Amino acid sequence: SKVTMEKIVSLSKTRGFVFPGSEIYGGLANTWDYGPLGVELKNNVKKAWWKKFVQESKYNVGLDASILMNPQAWVASGHVGGFADPLMDCKACKARFRADKLIEDHFAKHGKEGVVDGWPHEQMEAYIRENHIKCPECGKADFTGIRQFNLMFKTFQGVTEDSSTQIYLRPETAQGIFVNFKNVQRASRKKVPFGIAQVGKSFRNEITPGNFTFRTREFEQMELEFFCAPGEDLEWFDYWKQYCLDWLKNLNMKDASIRSRDHAKEELSHYSNATTDIEFLFPFGWGELWGIADRTDFDLKAHMTHSGEDLRYVDPMTNEKYVPYCIEPSLGADRVTLAFLVDAYEEETLEDGSDRVVMKFHPALAPFKAAVFPLAKKLNDEAVKVFEMLSKEFMVDYDDSGSIGKRYRRHDEIGTPFCITFDFDSLEDGQVTVRDRDTMTQKRVPIAELIDLIRESQAF
């Protein structure tokens, strides 16, 4: 039978991957808390990203910038400019308008009275459609839906009300990278092409959050800003697009679960040379997982203009001075964790007719890398020694309750790749029974070889 969101939400709660936020107070809409297994899973996802995008990349370095930034940064990024405005684009000429202004102009022209302030988006869209309001630029009457640009959370810095300044919680991690471009380049002595990677929380007052952790107002992003010479951008765009796809596939994401969708020229934002969305087939349909964009020199140039700082790069070979182009692969940590949860979920009927739910996580992502079971209570003291040895290297569980069969089922359901049973023979031969999650086959393994066995399974 098929995986549904209900099954994922339910398993997440009962097994401790994800709980509803503030539950004892009746919750807070669209907030979720990662439980003991969820925090392991999500940390493993972030570690796997960092490993490939920073540790193993000869181009990239890491950064951890603060969530709170000088509000001018958000003016430069464009997040403050269209602030609070219900914007719509003309599909024909790409001009952008405030929907409320278009309607007010229409009112004025026809001598009508009315207040658009506070109209729901649907009402504005319907009014524009029904009255055949035309684009003031090109005269066509074909607009996109309204997009709300008031996405930023406001807060106050400073203790007393009159001395406090209004600031924002960042709606993306990228700007922390752009403002540090010069610092990082100088300190790390990186030459273009190079990238800066960051993992951190972002906040957006989303209009339609939902689908569990797919879209929330507080979420974590894993972003890379990769700087290259103008003219080399499309090549690097292809490079990172493939790199991202490989990352997902190497972590066992199924081919049938992902697709990449290149944006058509008309869809591209005005500053972008190329954009691709890597999408995942969630139970509720295809959803964007990873946005990969060639952002040209748009961001660095904007920060140059607003800060007055010269953010140009000097090529040490040619002494040429230029603003690098930027490729941005941006991935939601929560969203891709949800995708891994969905993709791993399997229901199987076994040979004896019984059913099992098994989470087929790549071992690098599995919350527990192994579980140690004493066959009998008497064996606890010796079995605990195996747990203590392994837990110095990996996240492992120790489980001594219920039949071995029950313990297998429990660990199948949370995706533990290896179940290690310590039995009476183990006292004599120094070997344990290792049962494989996916094949359910069992083999005897010397205790001294367990660490290598688990370590090998972690490669991707």
Binding residues for ATP: 204-206, 214-219, 288-289, 332-335
Nearer to ligand ATP, 204 or 241 (CB): 204
Contact 434, 453 (CB under 8 A): yes
Nearest residue (CB) to ligand ATP, 221 versus 431: 221
Which CB atom, from 289 or from 323, has the smaller least distance to ligand ATP? 289
The whole-angstrom separation of Cα 32 and Cα 213 is 7
Q: Are strands 96-98 and 86-89 parallel, antiparallel or unpaired?
A: antiparallel
Instruction: Tell me the closest approach of the beta carbon of residue 289 to ligand ATP, in angstroms.
Output: 6
CB of 369 to ligand ATP, least distance (A): 27
- Binding-site residue numbers are 98, 172, 204-206, 214-223, 288-289, 328-335
H-run or E-run covering 289: strand 285-294
Name the residue nearer to ligand ATP (CB basis): 168 or 313: 168
Nearest to 416 by CA among 457, 451, 348, 368: 368
Closest CA to 114 of 125, 128, 126, 100: 100
CA–CA separation, 412 and 134 (whole Å): 59
Smallest separation, CB 112 to ligand ATP (Å)? 35
What kind and span of H or E run contains 327?
A: strand 325-332
Q: Binding-site residues for substrate, please?
A: 98, 172, 219-223, 328-332
Structure tokens at 423: 């039995």
From the list 19, 35, 36, the residue with the least C-alpha distance to 27 is: 19
Cα separation of 273 and 416, whole Å?
43
| Identity of the residue, 225 or 334, whose beta carbon is nearer to ligand ATP in the bound complex | 334
- Extract the tokens encoding 420: 């290690």
Minimum separation from the CB atom of position 151 to ligand ATP (A): 9
| 3-class secondary structure, 129 | helix
What does the DSSP assignment read for 10-31? HHHHHHTSEEETTGGGT--TT-
Nearer to ligand ATP, 173 or 416 (CB): 173
CB closer to ligand ATP out of 179 and 289:
289
**Residue whose structure tokens are 């533990």:** 416
**Beta-bridge partner residues of 314:** 321
DSSP letters for 55-78: IT-SSEEEE---SB--HHHHHHTT
Residue 160 vs residues 155, 156, 157, 455: alpha-carbon distances, Å: 13, 10, 9, 54
Distance in Å, CB of 124 to ligand ATP, minimum: 20
Q: Report whether 425 contacts 442 (CB < 8 A).
A: no
Q: Tell me the closest approach of the beta carbon of residue 220 to ligand ATP, in angstroms.
A: 8
Residue 283 vs 291, nearer CB to ligand ATP: 291
The rounded distance, in Å, linking the Cα atoms of 372 and 384 is 8
Give me the residue label for tokens 């540090």.
180
DSSP of 404-456, one letter per residue?
HHHHHHHHHHTT-SEEEEE-HHHHHHSEEEEEETTT--EEEEEGGGHHHHHHH
Binding site for ligand ATP (CB under 6 A): 172, 204, 206, 215-216, 219, 221, 288-291, 330-332, 334-335
5 burial via Cβ count (<10 Å: 0-12, 13-18, 19+): middle
List the alpha helices (DSSP H) in 18-137.
36-50, 71-76, 99-109, 121-130
Q: How far is the CB of 164 from ligand ATP (least distance, A)?
A: 27
CB nearer to ligand ATP: pick between 218 and 413: 218
Q: Which residue has the closest beta carbon to ligand ATP?
A: 332
> In Å, how far are 85, 102, 119, 158 from 114, measured between CA atoms?
18, 13, 11, 40
CB of 18 to ligand ATP, least distance (A): 13
Nearer to ligand ATP, 277 or 382 (CB): 277
Q: What angle do CA 214, 215, 216 make, to 5 degrees?
A: 120
